[in-house]
Amino acid sequence: MDMHVFDIFSIIGTIAFAMSGAFVAMEEEYDILGIAVLGLVTAFGGGIIRNVLIGVPVTSLWSQGHLILLAMISIFVAFVLPLGWIQHWKKTEALFDAIGLSAFAIQGALYATEMNHPLIAVIVAAVLTGSGGGMVRDLLAGRKPLVLRDEIYAVWAMVAGGMIGLGLAAHTWQLLILFVIVIAFRMLSVHYKWRLPRRMLQERKEAAESKSMSS
């Protein structure tokens, strides 16, 4: 694997998720400290969870000082952007999230592949790196995790991990194409509202609503 490609996906994912976390924090009216914390958690939370599961010391995070600095700069840029620009960003929020998902899913899969982990571990690393930070972000912001309720999300990270784990995307140009494909399918799932099968307990929900109305 070309380590320069690994670095590129790390940089893209860090910027996209750090700004995503910062904007969510501003929507929830957090102060500057809360914005910084949520931005950093979003950018690095998935990688920390991945490292715990595949046997990488959590302290390895501190060797990524350049990425932490990049995340802080991204958070600061998000904080000082004009309100009009932020409102425009909110309309393209899914795109930022898709970029971060794709970049970090590929980065996580490459990381696990470099450590010679089996296919299932590569897929898990892709999913956790791509969506773990967003899940922690949503929980800290008091929201239902996007990955568990929204249109197809983690599935695209699984696809990326599977292709890398099977050796179907090993060269730089293949990884770049995979990066674009994951973003495209994530955005298509948002646009067309593709969803995984779900089962809602309607009877229980309706009974609860009737009980609340009668009380």
Task: Provide the pLDDT for residue 214.
Answer: 56
Does residue 188 have a pLDDT over 70? yes
Contacts of 94 (CB under 8 A, 6+ apart): 186, 187, 190
**17-34 pLDDT, tens digit each:** 898 899 889 989 999 999
CA–CA distance, 104 with 119 (Å, rounded to integer):
17
Mean per-residue pLDDT of the chain: 83
Task: Provide the pLDDT for residue 151.
Answer: 60
CA–CA distance, 104 with 214 (Å, rounded to integer):
49
Mean pLDDT in residue range 35-46: 93
Contact indicator for 168, 193 with CB cutoff of 8 Å = no
CA contacts within 13 A on the Cβ side of 204: 3
Alpha-carbon Rg of the chain, whole angstroms? 18
Task: Provide the pLDDT for residue 150.
Answer: 61
Query: What's the pTM?
Result: 0.80
Mean pLDDT in residue range 122-141: 90
Band the pLDDT of 164: cuts 50, 70, 90: very high
Helices (H), 115-171: 119-140, 146-149, 154-165
**Which residue has 């730089």 as its token pair?**
172
**49-81 pLDDT, tens digit each:** 888 887 777 777 788 888 999 999 999 998 988
Tell me the two tokens of residue 63.
């060797």
Task: Provide the pLDDT for residue 106.
Answer: 92
Mean pLDDT in residue range 108-125: 91
Band the pLDDT of 89: cuts 50, 70, 90: low
